[in-house]
Amino acid sequence: MDRPPTANPATAREIILEIVRNMRDGLEPLHYSTLPPAIFHVYLHTDDLERLRGILPRIVEEARRALDEELETLNKASLAERFKLSRRTEPKIVAPEGGWQIRMFENTDEDCGPGDISINSELALPGKDQLGSGSLTKRIATRRMGGVESTKQTYDPVLPAPTPAPAAAPAPGAFAVIEYEDGAVHKTYNMTKDEIVVGRGGRDYWTDIKLDTLPDVSREHFRLRRDPASGQFFLKDLSRLGTTIDGVKAPSSIDFEGAEKRDLNLEAPLPARARIGLAGVLFLEFRSASNG
């Protein structure tokens, strides 16, 4: 994929300004108030993240301060409004009750280069009970790629927790079955070979289970291997942000040295029934066929 050339790495100030832009682009006016997004996930190229790692807490602190100042600026009444010569047309923007939540991550997309800044933010909208509709989560994705800015907004319904469905039985000939929610869709995967790869996939990244989720999940997040002789399953974590087995962090098999990585070939045994967590944002329910 061709991408615009980026001359310079991302600076701390540019990151803060991009967070403020994301907030401003994501404002949602209601009748009596305007809501801003409250949760910001910032994704940076590996080189930029490593270069700025020592001051990330300071960047987050100053980004929160910049967001507060931007709200104050946007809420300032004009001179005419102060003298009641005109009426405000937009309701006041209110800061999120829980404060600004900002987290920094490595961007593992293959088209990301130094200087690129991607931000995914969330805004929980109240339900409109009088209209019979449920609540929504507004998601704002902003990106500065090669100096070019873009914004995308989506509204996802917050569905009530469904009644748990009966566990799916492995298909004939399958060694195990894996169930998960991906993009609000319940999916089932039958493992019929001795090794599979799970992750977001992409160019040059083959996956047997391709997940449509946040960049927190790596392109190739983990490998699942079955030993034909014993029938035992093993999990190899290949991710940046980790994999858990029933809430316990699996050992990382990857040693990262800058942009280079080395496979240490470390595996963790997987129980016949297990809940596998990917970077804490997505979970898979694993069941071996021998579990019954």
What CATH number should be reported for the domain holding residue 185? 2.60.200.20
Asked whether the predicted pLDDT for residue 4 surpasses 80, the reply is no
What pLDDT shows up at residue 288? 95
Whether residues 192 and 123 fall in one domain? no
Whether residues 147 and 191 fall in one domain? no
Residue 26, H or E segment: none
Whether residues 42 and 121 fall in one domain? yes
Q: Which of 157, 189, 208 is the last residue of a domain?
A: 157
Query: Which range among 33-37, 62-66, 125-129 shows the weakest confidence by mean pLDDT?
Result: 125-129
- Identify whether 5 is part of a domain: no
- Identify whether 166 is part of a domain: no
Residue 217 near residue 280 (C-beta atoms within 8 A): no
| CA–CA dist 291, 279 (Å, integer) | 26
Residue 109 near residue 202 (C-beta atoms within 8 A): yes
Q: What is the CATH number of the domain that holds 119?
A: 3.30.2320
Residue 141 near residue 151 (C-beta atoms within 8 A): yes
Considering its fold, how many domains does the chain have in total?
A: 2
Whether residues 149 and 199 fall in one domain? no
Asked whether the predicted pLDDT for residue 124 surpasses 50, the reply is yes
H helix runs in the chain, sequence order: 12-25, 46-52, 56-75, 79-82
Asked whether the predicted pLDDT for residue 162 surpasses 70, the reply is no
Range of the domain at 132: 12-157
What pLDDT shows up at residue 109? 77
pLDDT digits (tens, 9 = 90+) for 61-95: 999 999 999 999 999 865 556 566 555 567 899 99
Asked whether the predicted pLDDT for residue 130 surpasses 50, the reply is no
Asked whether the predicted pLDDT for residue 291 surpasses 70, the reply is no
What pLDDT shows up at residue 20? 97
pLDDT digits (tens, 9 = 90+) for 44-58: 998 999 999 999 999
Closest C-alpha to 119, from 199, 30, 14, 220: 14
pLDDT digits (tens, 9 = 90+) for 8-22: 899 999 999 999 999
What pLDDT shows up at residue 132? 43
Residue type for 50, please?
A: E
